[in-house]
Amino acid sequence: MKRPAKLGKSERELIAAATAAIKQRYRDDWQEVGAALRTRSGKIFTGVNLDAYLGRMAVCAEAVALGRAVVDLGDAGIETIVAVRHPPPGEKDQTIAVVSPCGACRELIFDYDPQARVIVPNGKAQAVVPIAELLPNKYSRGSEG
Ligand SMILES: [Zn+2]
């Protein structure tokens, strides 16, 4: 596997946007993850997760960010996306940190931009990897190859 790309200014800016979103909207048990994406046109959209009493109704922060982008711009692609998790109050010595997208979000990100780049944790640092690398053997209906 290729060595993952190091973060540049634009990736750090995206992490900062996701961090700001969850710092502003954190609610224990309800909003704990923030996300930010940059469209192909260079615009940044943020989201926070929507947890729900009925667990399966929960929506990930990445999906909320993507929804905001689609409403504003239509299909603008995803150049880069990142999610960060805000620790609950009881978690001592934890800070807001980059988390990997869940499996469902990997599918979603790929569907909206197969060339998207994703910022993921890499030891104590972060790395930028192509979505295809995070989703080998992506789901497809039999007839679509
Ligand atoms: Zn997810």
Ligand 1 centre from 2 Cα, in Å? 25
Confidence of residue 110 (pLDDT cuts 50, 70, 90): very high
What's the pTM? 0.93
Ligand 1 centre from 59 Cα, in Å? 7
Distances (CA, A) of 98 to 1, 106, 145: 21, 15, 33
Q: What is the pLDDT of residues 28-45, one digit of tens each?
A: 999 999 999 999 999 999
Ligand 1 centre from 60 Cα, in Å? 5
> Which pLDDT score, from 0 to 100, does residue 133 have?
97
To the query of whether residue 62 is one of the catalytic residues in this protein, the response is yes
Among 11, 32, 62, 79, the one annotated catalytic: 62
Ligand 1 centre from 136 Cα, in Å? 17
